[in-house]
Amino acid sequence: MRLLEGGRIENVLELCGGTGFASRMLAERHSKVHATSIDLSPELTAVGRRKLASRGVDNVTLVEGDVAALPYPDDSFDTVMSAFGLHEVPTAGRLSAIRESVRVLKPGGRFVIVDLDRRTKYGWTMDLFMKVMEPKFAPEVFGTGLVDRLKENGFTIDHHESAGPNGWTQSIVATLEA
């Protein structure tokens, strides 16, 4: 969770949260944080609720919902985060999710993303994985795909680390212009 250091993280929204794993990890380490994790899957959110209950975590809320139409008022969250979820969202939904994140983020809020990326060395291995395991639109997040969409929606990119020659992931921290 180093990507979240240095800013306000009192009220966090996790997009495509599944079982709420990232929210739970954050909330267990920072007791003053309240994290809300939203995902379309009732099965995954049910699993997440059981895990939260078994661990006694009460500062995470799991919500079944669509990241392209967030059910929250404007300026609700300090931070929006997504861990390996945005590549799963179809193009139009992903663009709507970014616009919705702008709406629900407080001015100066941050969007923190970790997602797949195409490595520069032996990239064919990621191409094969994507062809077999992921939806056809998933590679749109590679390279500057997400970075460019964030910039188009008023974010300043504070950090972008690509997969490089040996990795499989990228990390992005973007701040919403105040």
Q: What percent of the chain has pLDDT over 90?
A: 79
Q: Which pLDDT value is given to residue 90?
A: 97
Contact 114, 82 (CB under 8 A): yes
When pLDDT is averaged across residues 146-168 and rounded to a whole number, the result is 94
In the numeric block, which tokens belong to residue 158? Answer: 């504070």
Q: Which pLDDT value is given to residue 47?
A: 98
| Cα–Cα distance measured from residue 107 to residue 92, given in angstroms and rounded to the nearest whole number | 24
- For residue 132, give the 3-state DSSP assignment: helix
- In the 8-state DSSP scheme, what is residue 75? T
Report pLDDT digits (tens) over 63-98. Answer: 999 999 999 999 999 999 999 999 999 999 999 999
Q: What number of residues does the chain have? A: 178
Using alpha carbons only, give the angle 13, 17, 23 rounded to the nearest 5 degrees: 60
Residue 125, H or E segment: helix 123-133
Strand partners, 170: 115
In the numeric block, which tokens belong to residue 59? Answer: 């500062």
Whether residue 10 is predicted with pLDDT greater than 90 in this model: the reply is no
When pLDDT is averaged across residues 104-121 and rounded to a whole number, the result is 93
Contact 35, 66 (CB under 8 A): no
Whether residue 4 is predicted with pLDDT greater than 70 in this model: the reply is no
Whether residue 3 is predicted with pLDDT greater than 50 in this model: the reply is no
Tell whether the torsion through CA atoms of 143, 144, 147 and 148 is positive or negative: negative
**Which single residue is written with the structure tokens 């300090």?**
78
Whether residue 9 is predicted with pLDDT greater than 80 in this model: the reply is no
